[in-house]
């Protein structure tokens, strides 16, 4: 149990276009989802925390108008990279926190990631 | 700000040997620590976790040790196999229930 999926797994787009990435918790309801960005050979950096039905909380240095997050249901959060540029090329990973009883203490379950390449 | 760091960026071991990956953390208020394994092009995979009220926890072939006095976390992998080759991250859960990841250590297993 506790599976998180992401779609698409990879995407290539032209500079200036917008790209939407979906994150779904498949077998549990997640009130909180997280979005991370990972550049090559680097660690995961938290971008924002997404709570169902409320506005996302962004980490310092992350532009909320560029990285739009919507958490419309307990099983789906989306990240839209608006007006993407080559420097936005990265590996975007989401995670979902399962409610108590589904997992061990405060565990986050991670999606498989989405590779974004902006030409 | 608070951070989690690692001592060794790359660890190369012989198949069958034991591996030890280390991690230093700086937030004494962190109450929960996790080790993740990440293979190329994939998301992090949970390996083992430990709460701050414990100093050792064992899983299948893996052991996590927590030394709160010196703020040190380690992951021990017994009888390392080629399939263990990956990047390993430690992460700490802070008071805000956020995860902060360390820089990662690449484990390379030589056959």
Write the pLDDT tens digit of every residue in A62-118. Answer: 999 999 999 989 999 999 999 999 999 999 999 998 776 655 566 789 999 999 999
CB atoms within 10 A of CB A52: 16
- To the nearest whole Å, the CA of A112 is away from the closest chain B CA by 4
Q: Say if the Cβ atoms of A112 and B42 lie within 8 Å.
A: yes
Q: Which residue of A has its CA nearest to B5?
A: A43
Region A16-34: mean pLDDT is: 94
Please say whether the beta carbons of B22 and B29 come within 8 A.
Answer: no
Indicate the pLDDT class of residue B101, thresholds 50, 70 and 90: very high
As a whole number of angstroms, the distance between CA A89 and CA A83 comes to 12
Q: Are the Cβ atoms of B99 and A104 closer than 8 angstroms?
A: no
Asked if the peptide bond before residue A8 counts as cis, ω within 30 degrees of 0, the response is: yes
A48 min Cα distance to partner chain B (Å): 10
For residue A55, give every residue at least 6 positions away whose Cβ sits within 8 Å of its Cβ, in sequence order, or none.
none
Is there a contact between A22 and A76 (Cβ–Cβ < 8 Å)? Answer: yes
Pick B3 or A37 by higher pLDDT: A37
């Amino acid at each position: 149990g506790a599976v998180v999926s992401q779609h698409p797994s990879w995407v290539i787009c032209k500079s200036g276009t917008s790209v939407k990435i979906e994150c779904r918790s498949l077998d549990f309801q997640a009130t909180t989802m997280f979005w991370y960005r990972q550049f090559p050979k680097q660690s995961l950096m938290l971008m924002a925390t997404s709570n169902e039905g409320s506005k996302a909380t962004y980490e310092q240095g992350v532009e909320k108008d560029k990285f739009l997050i919507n958490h419309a249901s307990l099983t789906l959060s989306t990240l839209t990279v608006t007006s993407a540029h080559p420097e936005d090329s990265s590996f975007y990973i989401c995670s979902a926190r399962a409610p108590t009883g589904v997992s061990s203490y405060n565990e986050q379950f991670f999606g498989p990631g989405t590779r974004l390449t902006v030409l | 700000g608070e951070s989690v760091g690692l001592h060794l960026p790359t660890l190369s071991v012989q198949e069958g040997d034991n591996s030890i990956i280390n991690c230093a953390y700086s937030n004494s208020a962190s109450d929960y620590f996790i080790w993740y394994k990440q293979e190329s092009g994939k998301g992090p995979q949970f390996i083992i976790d430990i709460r701050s009220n414990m100093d050792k926890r064992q899983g299948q072939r893996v052991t996590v040790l927590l030394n709160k006095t010196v703020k040190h976390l380690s992951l021990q992998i017994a009888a390392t196999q080629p399939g263990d080759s990956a990047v390993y991250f430690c992460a700490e859960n802070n008071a805000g229930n956020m995860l902060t990841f360390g820089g990662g250590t690449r484990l390379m297993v030589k056959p």
